[in-house]
Amino acid sequence: MEINNHKRKCLIIDLRNNKGGNDNFSNYLASFVAKKPFKWNASFTIKTSEQLKKFTVLNNDKTLAYFKEILECKMV
């Protein structure tokens, strides 16, 4: 991995202007830099729409828990 190859003592991660999105990469990065086990969050709430459900079906792995939750969630 690029970070390991440089053997730096410090790492700055600039998240300015981050629009969010899928957290697969951030989960990996957080686990890489964490010194001890951590809990990402205790719970979360999803609001969905027909448009989001259609997008999820076309563009995501529906076997992953997060995307299953979107598809099973009642619309508000």
Specify the length of the chain in residues: 76
Q: pLDDT tens digit string along 39-66? A: 777 887 778 888 988 998 999 888 888 7
Q: Which of these ranges, 16-25, 29-38, 42-51, has the smallest mean pLDDT?
A: 16-25
Report the Cα 18 to chain-centroid distance in Å: 12
Q: How confident is the model at residue 30 (pLDDT cuts 50, 70, 90)?
A: confident
Instruction: At 58, list the tokens.
Output: 């076309």
What span, in angstroms and rounded, lies between the C-alpha atoms of 68 and 72? 6
Query: What's the domain count of the chain?
Result: 1
Is the entire prediction scored with pTM above 0.85?
Answer: no
Instruction: Quote the domain boundaries for residue 54.
Output: 2-72
φ, ψ for residue 30 (rounded to 5)? Answer: -60, -40
What's residue 1's pLDDT?
Answer: 59
